Amino acid sequence: MINQVLLVIYVIGIISLSLKLKQGTFSGFVISDRQVMYPAVIGIAYMAAYFSAASFLGGGGFGLVAGLPWVIWAVFFHVAFACLAFLIAPKIWAMAQHYDARTVPQLLERRYNSQKGKVLLAGIMLVMYTVYLVAIFKGCGNLLQGLLGVTYVQGLIIAVGIVALYYAIGGLPAILWISFLQGLIMLAGSVLLYGGLISSGEGMMIWNNIPDAVLNMGGNVVPWQKSFGNAFAISLGLLALPDLLIMIFSARDRRVVRFAGIYGPISVAIYALCIFSLGILAYGVFTSEELAPFIANPDGLVPFLATSLLPSGFDGIVLLAAISAAMSTMSAIVLVTTTALTSDILKFLRPSTSDDRVLLMTRIAGVIIIIVAAFFAVDVPQMIVPLVSASMGVIACCVFVPLIFGLYWDRGTSTGFVASLVASFGSVVLWQYYGDPLIHTVFIGLICGTLAYIGGSLFSNKDLPSEMSN
């Protein structure tokens, strides 16, 4: 009963906040009119939007089969990339201001003077973010099933209703503030769950009870190469995912962005350490027989830990933290996916469409995408971590190369931009089917995308404005 009450209070709170922050313009809906003035809001919302139910469930449970290598690589890459992300964030903000860009495809279009590249990137985002949403909905359905005692499908329906409401009403202002509050809940839940495991395992003595096979750097059930690849692919998103970059766009000035660089990396570090170590710490508290069901389904470990280790009410906070992780990410993803469809694709096809019309279509399209993703999430046999790393990896590869080179290399051209998109996406898809499974597709995508970008730019005769590269 306590858990149900917590969820009701939670839903009422986020819907009320959405109504208070309701936006009537497209610019307000998409980037808060660039008026966000609180660094903590951007930094913690950045963390919350990045870490989803995929990290809470998939990342926490994956350590059970991957062992210590997953913990080391996942924590290291997430902290390192979070620091790098906020190190270059002021330059990204300045570029968005200079080009008056409201979406990432629009930013790169204006940087490279390439409408073709904008539409291509928007199409890739539309497809791959929908795949990503499927993975997150899977996690959210599992969480609501555990929290409320409903069926998995009923949990999906509840998730659809909540996310659709506050996305369609408030846009980015609501997403930012709600993600900020959700981030605080996520941090509290992750620390609570980590503390519960440590306490049950008699403090640091817990390490003495963990089998040597789990602490082996060669990996447990999953080889270390896969842990390395999955950790790198997922954490790369901190540098290049459009649903995170728009939060930087929304800052009022460069100072806000700089100070957000304190809150963002610190919250990422705390959350990553607590969540990604749960799988191996579980071996120090529970028997092999108790953990056996979760070897085949690691995504179910975290709800089991919450209900087994914590008293009623506290377990609800943990599960609510996981739901917050799912919803903060879903709302941000839906926003950038729908704007890619409406502002970057449909308005390209019909340039005369007014901003008011685009805003209406963005709201409607977002609800449709939410329903479609939830439908495909009804039956997803694949573990969350591989599914997320594949979808996030494609988007991160496609954005990372033209974004970073666009910031620091004067000679990048529209030809290089388009070539990098084609090479990144194509190589990732082909490697997924025909490549070595121990080498993650994201490495292939980055290499091919970089070579195509440099080659296309050097052999292109098109001139490109480069004011922002100086």
| CA 402/CA 419 separation, integer angstroms | 10
Tell which residue, 422, 243, 402, 240, has the closest CA to residue 328. 243
pLDDT band for position 389 (50/70/90)?
low
The pLDDT of residue 463: 47
- The CATH code that applies to domain 2-382 is 1.20.1730.10
The pLDDT of residue 152: 85
Exposure of 356 by Cβ count < 10 A (0-12 exposed, 13-18 middle, 19+ buried)? exposed
**Distance separating the N- and C-terminal Cα atoms of the chain:** 59
| CA 415/CA 331 separation, integer angstroms | 33
Tell which residue, 251, 187, 179, 248, has the closest CA to residue 18. 179
The pLDDT of residue 466: 45
Tell which residue, 62, 29, 14, has the closest CA to residue 359. 29
| CA 45/CA 275 separation, integer angstroms | 18
Going from the C-alpha of 466 to that of each of 28, 99, 367, the distances in angstroms are 28, 12, 38
For the stretch 58-69, pLDDT in tens is 788 888 888 899
Exposure of 327 by Cβ count < 10 A (0-12 exposed, 13-18 middle, 19+ buried)? buried
Return the percentage of the chain with pLDDT > 90, whole number.
30
| CA 199/CA 445 separation, integer angstroms | 43
Taking the domains of the chain in order of start, what are their residue ranges? 2-382
For the stretch 99-142, pLDDT in tens is 999 889 999 999 999 999 999 999 998 888 888 888 778 778 87
pLDDT of 234 higher than 90 = no
User: Which token pair is 439?
Assistant: 């080498």
pLDDT band for position 386 (50/70/90)?
low
Tell which residue, 271, 139, 145, 275, has the closest CA to residue 197. 275
pLDDT of 166 higher than 60 = yes
Q: How far is CA 98 from the centre of its chain?
A: 26
Total-model pTM:
0.86
Return the percentage of the chain with pLDDT > 70, whole number.
94
Q: How far is CA 410 from the centre of its chain?
A: 30
What average pLDDT does the segment 243-263 reach?
A: 92
The pLDDT of residue 212: 85
What pairs with residue 223 in β-bridges?
Answer: 219
Question: Per residue in 83-92, is it b (16+ CB within 10 Å) or e — as a string?
Answer: bebbebbbbb
What average pLDDT does the segment 82-88 reach?
A: 94
Give percent helix, percent strand, percent coil of the chain, each to the nearest 5. Answer: 80, 0, 15
| CA 241/CA 388 separation, integer angstroms | 13
